[in-house]
Each structure stands twice: as structure tokens, then as C-alpha cells.
Amino acid sequence: MAVKNNIRKIRKQRGIKQLTIAEELQVTRQTFTAIENNKYNPSLELALKIAKYFNLDFNEIFILEEDEK
């Protein structure tokens, strides 16, 4: 199973720059880029902070994809 996210889509819809959200969440822009590109899964704490930042339900941002069999 893989965790995917809609962070880039949501961020762009709201016109928020990566650096802005990274600073607000106290992570580097590089870390935030890796999360957006699904190269790095955020900690549970950071994932919850992201959901709170966007004022969205956790499940609207993060998706657990089933492995194809």
C-alpha cells in the first residue's frame, strides 16, 4: 500500500506558495516539496498539521492506495 496526497492540488487552488506553507509548518521547502511529490511521507504530527492548515479532513488530503494484485 502507498500513501498519496492532494497537497499540491489544494495548495495551488488556494494560491499558496510552497515556501509560505513550509514556513508556517516549520519544515524546509525541500521537505515540503518531497511530501508533495510523494517521495516522503510526513509524520503523523505533520500530516495532522497539514490538514489543520488547510482546514480539511485528513482523508480529503491523504489517500491510502491499495496494491494491485
| pLDDT tens digits along 4-38 | 999 999 999 999 999 999 999 999 999 999 999 99
What's domain 2-65's architecture? Orthogonal Bundle (1.10)
Expressed in percent and rounded to 5, the helix, strand and coil fractions of the chain are 55, 10, 35
**What residue spans define the domains of the chain?**
2-65
Residue 69: is its pLDDT beyond 70?
A: no
pLDDT at 67: 75
Using an 8 Å Cβ cutoff, are 55 and 46 in contact?
no
Give the C-alpha separation, 38 to 64, whole Å.
12
State the pLDDT at residue 66.
Answer: 83
